[in-house]
Amino acid sequence: MSSKVTPINRKPPNSLPEARIPLRFELSLRSALTLLGIVAGIWLLTYIYPALVVLLIALMLVGALAPLVTWLESRRVHRVFAVCTVFGFGVVLTATFVALTVPTIVEEVKSLTENESTLREHLALYLDQSPLTSSLAAEVRHLQYVELAKALKTTLLNMGTGLFAIAAYSAAAISLAFYIMIDRDRLRGALFAVVPRTHHLRLSRILLNLVVIVGGYIRGQLLTCALMGVAVFTVLSACRVPNALALAVFGGTMDLLPYIGIFLTMGPAVLAASVNGPLAAGIVFGVLLAYEELESRVLLPVIYGRALRLPSSVVFFALLVGTTLAGIIGALLALPVAAAVLMLIDELKVELPGETIRPEDVAQQREEARTEQEYERRTENLPAEQAAAVAVEISNDRRKEERIGEKATEEPSDSESRSSPAAT
């Protein structure tokens, strides 16, 4: 019986160690220029950040108002007159809202200031009822106004400066949106002129999806803010809480921040209702909390529909990043920007880690390639402006077909669920 012994490779005792090749980092001229351009671009963005915010808000206004202008154009209204009509109606509606609410809010704030001592005593008596908050009652009764007035004066001065800047930027954004909508064809033609014709259909789909995302987001925000204001005003009026209109306007404004605005509204509303006793404060707290559940679980999916298509985790992360980077403005722009990024990843066919290619994706890519070849044939000798109009028309037709297909696939599932034993 024989056994094999595997020889062990050992270095000779006098052998020299292997020489290590030093790592060398070489940067080509092209890479250096690219890196320098990126750094210069970031440095430039820090200086033109306000202008970019104005442009982004203007584009959001264009996306929100474009369906109204298109509807008027379909009724044989000239585009310039349609744009002027939409913007004029918006200005009149805003002025009417300000005229109806601002004087009442000023009167309520004046009344709140005059009755401050009475309200403070009611709050102190309410805090005295619990041993946990009794220490706060003495501080409320002996509140010193000198330091508070100084801090309030500084705060109001900063708020006035900030409100003036916001008003100026808003006026600039509205004016820019107006001119963009007036010169839509020329601007769109210039954009399509710098993009290769093989990518025109993809570009038109991206622009169309951006209009759907931004328009749906802004219209949904306006509707949810109005509903929140009505809900706050209704419950405060039912509980006979003073200054209900001012708190309702504040609540509707804070509802611009999804999932966060309701908690910013609850504090002042419950505090104002506590003047009428703990029962009124509890009712206001319970109703607002129930409305938040109704809004987040029922109203938001129905109002926004498929415009955003963002899961809750992405919503919270986008709000966190937007608030960290740009404060309130970043929080307002976080959701449409996140939805636009996900849409671009889908339209540009960016391969994500762990994603598998499905057979329907391959068929869709073949159909897109065939459509792009047909588009190039139809617009071979056309200028960029007319070619852009053809690309937008093809994208609109395709979107209508996709909607019809989605409805056709949803209807059988609905009928199956109604006829299933579980449903019956």
Sequential DSSP letters for 361-380 = HHHHHHHHHHHHHHHHHHTS
Nearby residues of 80 by Cβ (< 8 Å), 6 or more positions away? 182
For range 175-192, the mean pLDDT: 87
pLDDT: which is higher, 410 or 78: 78
Instruction: Give me the DSSP letters along 300-325.
Output: HHHHHTTSS---HHHHHHHHHHHHHH
pLDDT in tens, 257-280: 767 777 888 888 887 787 777 788
Alpha-carbon Rg for the chain, nearest whole angstrom, is: 30
pLDDT in tens, 246-260: 888 888 888 887 677
Q: Specify the 3-state DSSP secondary structure of 77.
A: coil
Q: At residue 414, does pLDDT exceed 60?
A: no
Q: Specify the 3-state DSSP secondary structure of 352.
A: coil
For range 67-95, the mean pLDDT: 89
- How far apart (Å, rounded) are the C-alpha atoms in residues 21 and 334? 48
Q: At residue 124, does pLDDT exceed 80?
A: no
Sign of CA dihedral 263, 268, 274, 280: negative
Q: At residue 101, does pLDDT exceed 50?
A: yes
Name the nearest CA neighbour of 343 among 176, 239, 207.
Answer: 207
- pLDDT for 166 equals 75
Asked if 254 contacts 264 with a C-beta cutoff of 8 angstroms, the reply is yes
- pLDDT for 170 equals 83
- pLDDT for 299 equals 77
pLDDT in tens, 133-166: 666 766 666 665 555 555 555 665 666 676 677 7
pLDDT in tens, 38-75: 888 888 877 787 888 888 888 888 888 888 888 898 88
Q: At residue 417, does pLDDT exceed 50?
A: no
Q: At residue 424, does pLDDT exceed 50?
A: no
Query: Per the structure block, which two tokens stand in for 300?
Result: 């938001």
Name the nearest CA neighbour of 79 among 174, 178, 175.
Answer: 178
- Nearest 5 degrees, angle CA 177-CA 183-CA 189? 120
Residue 81: pLDDT band with limits 50, 70, 90: very high
- pLDDT for 241 equals 83
- pLDDT for 84 equals 92
Asked if 201 contacts 395 with a C-beta cutoff of 8 angstroms, the reply is yes
Q: Which of 227-236, 309-318, 359-368 has the lowest mean pLDDT?
A: 359-368
- How far apart (Å, rounded) are the C-alpha atoms in residues 153 and 159? 10
- pLDDT for 234 equals 92
Residue 420: pLDDT band with limits 50, 70, 90: very low
- Number of residues assigned to the chain: 424
Query: Per the structure block, which two tokens stand in for 386?
Result: 């007319």
Q: At residue 418, does pLDDT exceed 70?
A: no
Q: At residue 1, does pLDDT exceed 50?
A: no
- pLDDT for 249 equals 85
pLDDT: which is higher, 197 or 76: 76
Distance of CA 291 to the CA centre of its chain: 21
pLDDT: which is higher, 401 or 73: 73
- How far apart (Å, rounded) are the C-alpha atoms in residues 52 and 253? 24
H/E stretch holding 88: helix 79-114
Mean pLDDT of the chain: 76
Asked if 181 contacts 356 with a C-beta cutoff of 8 angstroms, the reply is no
Name the nearest CA neighbour of 176 among 307, 65, 79.
Answer: 65
Nearby residues of 170 by Cβ (< 8 Å), 6 or more positions away? 57
**What is the SS3 assignment for 146-176?**
HHHHHHHHHHHHHHHHHHHHHHHHHHHHHHH
- Helix, strand, coil % (nearest 5) of the chain? 80, 0, 20
Angstrom distances, CA of residue 77 to CA of 30, 61, 82, 252, 271: 52, 20, 6, 34, 51
- How far apart (Å, rounded) are the C-alpha atoms in residues 56 and 344? 17
Query: Per the structure block, which two tokens stand in for 255?
Result: 């509802």
